[in-house]
Structure 1
């Protein structure tokens, strides 16, 4: 199984590194990071960079495609070269997936039209502008598309995918190996549970 994870400047690291840790541990899995050109691609915080060797042109028939989100996603909404690649590989991929606002890139490329999908809660409604039905679920499977809500939900999506690809027992083994048993100290992981003042502050930060 070949999984291709798309990187671009300003990506959010956990969006892609979380799924990378899960998918890369499946039997016979090969995970590659791809970008338009070979480059040292920096994340949204600027302090982490991935040396991407494979280009979009190098990876033409991945079994799994993953697009993460991040502030740099805005620059990819009209990226014709990336969108063309996504439409092309989507024709043969077993799974086309996203975490966080990566769903907006897939939507802008046209591959999610007529499908249900999720993304970060702050931009969930934008999916409808591309003919996609927004869902508040943490992970949405529709056909061969798998989308995850904000950032950390990418791990849940990748585990769901692991079960569908390699079976539930293998997915459980991977979950145990990485000790994914979240017990957050606060109940502020969604706008429905977070205090109103916290939601307001985060919204201001996102719109800055």
Structure 2
């Protein structure tokens, strides 16, 4: 349960005065002719009690998990559960090890958000693991939002949670979603009813901000974005298949061809 981390406390310190004013305000936010702001709108949803479960498994891509977790961690009052089969430390594909806070058995049954990160071989293993799929299918059947980032959508698909839904994934395996009955969609973040999926790795930050906007408000999400100073200006323009140089695309497609084929095989075996 992650609700007292340093970043959460920082945001709480920044927003608490606004929250207190909002609770007592008789009028919504107004701006005078000189641009000064009065009491914030009391209708702003400052604090909640959302239950958020984030799946962890060996070989996951750590940025897929931590990007969204940093955003979820700004939700005052929310409970973020890092869920794995056991409470043993889980090592990511980059060698970063994280300790779970809940197991499949102790994770709350009714969730506001069910989330899974992606990866490569670790993701394929998780998407073929009966216990993991049973957990995802069970919690996903009741969750308000069923979500993923990167190839984590393969796990959602294997758990039967994407059939008939538009969804995205990392470009290397997005096409494989069709084998699960999903509708592959090329976009940074895709929402279809209560299924929200993000594209590869760094899309988790965009996904996380979008989720904050849905769970609280656009204003709350904008506050989080500013505190996070999320204002990307990458030094190169090779972050998508639409913009990367041809040789970069060709080499990376070749590098990930084995994973792409395995993802397709997984999807067909689950059909």
Q: TM-score, normalised by structure 1?
A: 0.96
Deviations along 1:145-169, one digit per CA (max 9) or x if unpaired, are 1100000001111111110110100
When structure 1 is superposed on structure 2, of 86-95 and 107-116 the one drifting more is: 86-95
Mapped to 1, the partners of 2:189 and 2:56 lie a distance apart of: 21
Across the two proteins, how many residue pairs are aligned to each other? 207
**How far did residue 53 of structure 1 move?**
3.5
Identify which of 132, 136, 146 aligns with 1:96: 146
Q: Which has the larger radius of gyration?
A: 2
> Bigger shift: 51-60 or 136-145?
51-60
Q: CA deviation at 1:9?
A: 0.5
Structure 2 unaligned regions, length at least 5: 1-49, 259-271
Which of residues 26, 29, 32 is equivalent to 2:81?
Answer: 32
Match of 2:51 in 1: 2
- C-alpha displacement of 1:62: 2.3
Q: Secondary structure at the match of 2:136?
A: helix
Q: Secondary structure of 1:21's partner?
A: helix
Structure with bigger strand share is 1
Give me the CA root mean square deviation. Answer: 1.1
After superposition, residues 120-139 of structure 1 pair within 5 angstroms as: 120-139=170-189
**Alignment partner, residue 117 of structure 1:** 167
- Determine the C-alpha separation between the residues in 2 that align with 1:36 and 1:153: 26
1:70 matched residue in structure 2? 119
SS of alignment partner, residue 207 of structure 2: helix
Provide the rounded CA distance (Å) in 2 between the counterparts of 1:175 and 1:57: 34
Whether the aligned pair in 2 keeps the contact of 1:39 and 1:53 (CA below 8 Å) is no
Q: Structure 2: how far apart are the matches of 1:91 and 1:128? A: 20
Contact 1:99 1:148 in 2 (8 A): yes
CA shift for structure 1 position 61 = 2.1
